[in-house]
Amino acid sequence: MQKKKVVFIIALATIFILAASFQLVLAGQKAVKLKVPGCVWPGTAARVGTILKSVDGVADYKTDTKNHTATVRFDDEKTDVAAIKKALADGGFPVEGEAQFLN
C-alpha cells in the first residue's frame, strides 16, 4: 500500500512539472489580427512586413491585401499590440479599429 502512494505522488509531481513547463513555453506567444487599410497591394504588404519584422518580439506575420489585414504572432514578454500599432503608424500604416486576438 505504501508503494502505491509513493508511485502516485511521483506521477502527480511529474504531471505537475510537465504542465508547468508547457505553460512556460506558451506563456509569451500571442497572435493578433490588425486592420491595416493601407495594405492594398503587394508593394505595401512588403512595406508592412518590413515594419513588422523590425519590431523586437514579432515572430511571424502574414499580410492579406484583399482584406487589408496583418496577422501578427509575437512574444508578449518582448512587445505588445500598442508597440506594433505604433510601429505601423510611424511607418505610414495606421491601424484601424481594435485588434482581434486569435487563439
As averages over each run of 10 residues, the pLDDT of the chain (103 residues) reads 68 56 63 97 97 97 97 96 98 97 88
- Distance from C-alpha of 35 to C-alpha of 99, rounded to nearest angstrom: 8
**pTM of this structure:** 0.74
Q: Please report the pLDDT score of residue 2 as a whole number.
A: 79
| Residues 77 and 25: beta-carbon distance below 8 Å | no
Instruction: Give the other-Cβ count within 10 Å of 69's Cβ.
Output: 20
| Residues 102 and 32: beta-carbon distance below 8 Å | yes
Q: Please report the pLDDT score of residue 103 as a whole number.
A: 77
CB neighbour class for 39 (10 Å; exposed up to 12, middle 13-18, buried from 19): buried
The position carrying cell 493578433 is: 32
